[in-house]
Amino acid sequence: MVSFFILLTYYWIIIFSIIGYGILFNKFFYKSLEKDIGFIGIYGIFILILISYISSFIFPHTELFNSILILIGLINFFINKNKEIIQSNIKNLLIVFIILIVFIFANKQHDDFPYYHFPYIHLLTEYSNMVGIGNFNHGFRTHSSIFYLSSLFNLPFSNFFLLHLSPVFFMGFANIIFYNKILLNLKHKEPSNILYLSLLSLIFVNVFFYRLAEHGTDRTAMILILIAVIELLHLINNNTNQNKNEFLKLPILITLIISLKTFYALYILLSIPVIIFFIKKKISLILFFKSTITYLCISVLFLLLTVNFFNSGCLLYPVKILCFESFSWAIPLGEVDLMNLWYQQWAKAGANPNFRVENPEVYIQGFNWLNNWFNEYFFNKVSDFLAGLVFLSLFVFLVFFSKESIKIKKTQYLLTYIIIVFLTLQWFYLLPALRYGGYHLIALIFFIPLSIYLSKYSVNTKLYKKKVYFLILLTIFIFLSRNVSRLNQEYHVYNYNIFNNAYYRSVEQNFSIFKNIENINKCHIEKILTACSGGINVKSLNNSYIYYRAKK
């Protein structure tokens, strides 16, 4: 029972602390004075990630440092708890995160969690300013900002059992954003495509992404992309006198998306519709260059690239042209090529734990892989996902179908949709695995035209609202029932009882790299290099450990 209460107590403490930092961000940097506590939470996560990156160069994220950091946010939340922004949002905040409690209990984490997620986070709590750690694990060469956020949850009495929680905070604040978008548009006399798109996204995220163990770094970024597209379409189609600073949400979202998964760097293309909108409206783009937020975003991206470089010698791994082999800790370019080949081979169904294609260099070229991909991956992974999307889209369509139509205002969505189609084609050609960026793109290709089409139907206001709330309640029921079923299965398979021990299963693999590094450091300090093994050496420079391959 102790672990159960520790987990729940810290769960709420971290939520309120994140909001506290979001309020500070809103006050000092975001001049639009955001009233949506979902976005306030996203801002809080953004500023905590920035703090985590900067501090990781100076000292490890110990329990003491993290406690002080979390306490500052918590104090600021309670200082501002009586303000309108908290009072008007607290009910929805509590409801969403109470529902999500069932989400945080999981015996088995994501497959990559023991492999490199946890080891990376754990190292951040033990060391600072490490260079060359990509030599220990290829997963360390493609780090994510979610690791840096998670390292701040190393708190007293919890040991390392809070380091898996980060996805729930993104999930919770995203649900609040979706819900608030729905509520805002329900006030209009006629249905809005933004309402339908927000509703479809809310259903999609909670039904398709209902398991914490499946999130990793990928699905968190996908959720933010859905928010970014909704916000983009909302802003460029809003004809009221809106505050131009609201467009600054998009750089924050795009920065977070790229920091979570660097191969999402192409999503900077979503800024093109904003630039065109500003030009058409004769609004000066100087807004972005005058705002402190722009420079905070640049700082996060700079720190992201710096960490990538320190980890592997590459600004973006495994992009060979952005790798610099001359540095002692750098990954050899030949290995970079092999890893690039491996990522494509795996994504194109040319490899699995029990199978490897012959001549992978030939296999990944052009569309040589297409036939095997259809046989090994499309059926039944993609086909099942498409069937689920079709069912969801058809179900929502039938719920809101009407024989009467209305004339609606022209929606500026074509350019955004073209960008999404382009990103989908790029995904399909290079890394056609759903986890590498397919889920949300395929969903948006369905949802955007469907939401616009549904907005053409005339509705009875009272009945319309009942239908919307019915779908939201149905989504909550499905989310809870699937997670309860999952917990029941984990109880029978793993004997996982949340009241006896609410913590996730610890795997020895979690600590193997830490023990190896600890041994290498000891050898270096005591100058007994013959006791070290594994082919990796270390040297110290300005209070930094630099790990490099021993020359053969």
- Pairing status of strand 544-549 against strand 536-541: antiparallel
CA dihedral sign of residues 259, 264, 269, 270: negative
pLDDT value of residue 431: 95
174 pLDDT more than 80:
yes
The token pair that represents 530 in the structure block: 């013959």
Q: Which two tokens stand for residue 184?
A: 């805002």
What single string gives the DSSP state of each residue in 108-152?
S--THIIIIIHHHHHHHHH-SSEE-GGGT-GGGGG--HHHHHHGG
Residue 552 in this model has a pLDDT that exceeds 60: no
- In this prediction, residues 358-377 reach a mean pLDDT of 94
Question: How confident is the model at residue 519, as a pLDDT?
Answer: 87
Confidence of residue 355 (pLDDT cuts 50, 70, 90): confident
Identify the weakest region by mean pLDDT among 148-157, 392-401, 402-411: 402-411
The length of the chain, given as a count of residues: 552
Residue that the structure tokens 């008007």 belong to:
88
Strand partners, 314: 323
For residue 137, pLDDT over 70 is answered with yes
Please tell me the least confidently modeled range out of 73-82, 124-133, 216-225.
73-82
pLDDT for position 349: 94
Per-residue pLDDT band for 54 (boundaries 50, 70, 90) equals very high
DSSP character string of 218-265? HHHHHHHHHHHHHHHHHHHT--S---GGGGGHHHHHHHHHHHH-GGGG
Burial class, 201, CB count within 10 angstroms (exposed 0-12 / middle 13-18 / buried 19+): buried
Quickly state the pLDDT bin for 472 (edges 50, 70, 90).
very high
Mean pLDDT value across the chain: 92
Whether pLDDT at 530 is above 70: no
Q: Which residue matches tokens 């509705």? A: 459
Please tell me the distance from the alpha carbon of residue 23 to that of residue 172, in angstroms, as a whole number: 17
Q: What percentage of the chain has pLDDT greater than the value 90?
A: 75
Question: What are 277-311's pLDDT values in tens digits?
Answer: 999 888 889 989 999 999 999 999 999 999 999 99
Q: Take residue 483 and report the two structure tokens written for it.
A: 């997670």
For the cut 90, the answer to whether the pLDDT of residue 244 exceeds it is no
- The rounded distance, in Å, linking the Cα atoms of 359 and 500 is 51
C-alpha distances in Å from residue 480, one per residue of 253, 337, 393 = 28, 44, 21
Write out pLDDT tens, residues 474-524: 999 999 999 999 999 999 999 999 999 999 988 877 898 898 898 888 887
Residue-level pLDDT at 97: 98
Phi, psi of 355 (to 5 degrees): -155, 145
pTM as predicted = 0.96
Task: Provide the pLDDT for residue 130.
Answer: 93
What is the signed CA dihedral for 40, 45, 47, 51, rounded to 10 degrees? 160
Among 242, 321, 331, residue whose Cα is nearest residue 281: 242
Average pLDDT over residues 205-210: 97
In the chain, % of residues over pLDDT 70:
97
Ordered by start, the domain boundaries in the chain are: 2-365+473-488, 520-549
Strand 355-356 to strand 536-541: parallel, antiparallel, or no bridges (unpaired)? unpaired
pLDDT for res 407? 74
> What confidence tens digit (pLDDT) does each residue in 400-437 have?
998 887 777 777 899 999 999 999 999 999 999 999 99
**Average pLDDT of the segment spanning 143-164:** 96
pLDDT value at position 267?
A: 96
The answer to whether 504 and 108 have CB atoms below 8 angstroms apart is yes
How many whole angstroms separate alpha carbon 543 and alpha carbon 151? Answer: 21
Nearest to residue 439, comparing CAs of 485, 376, 386?
386
**Strand order of the sheet with strand 544-549?**
130-131, 544-549, 536-541
Candidates 402, 90, 38; CA nearest to 205 is 38
Query: 83 pLDDT exceeds 80?
Result: no
In this structure, of 3-17, 239-253, 306-320, 530-544, the range with the lowest mean pLDDT score is 530-544
Assess whether pLDDT exceeds 90 at residue 217: no
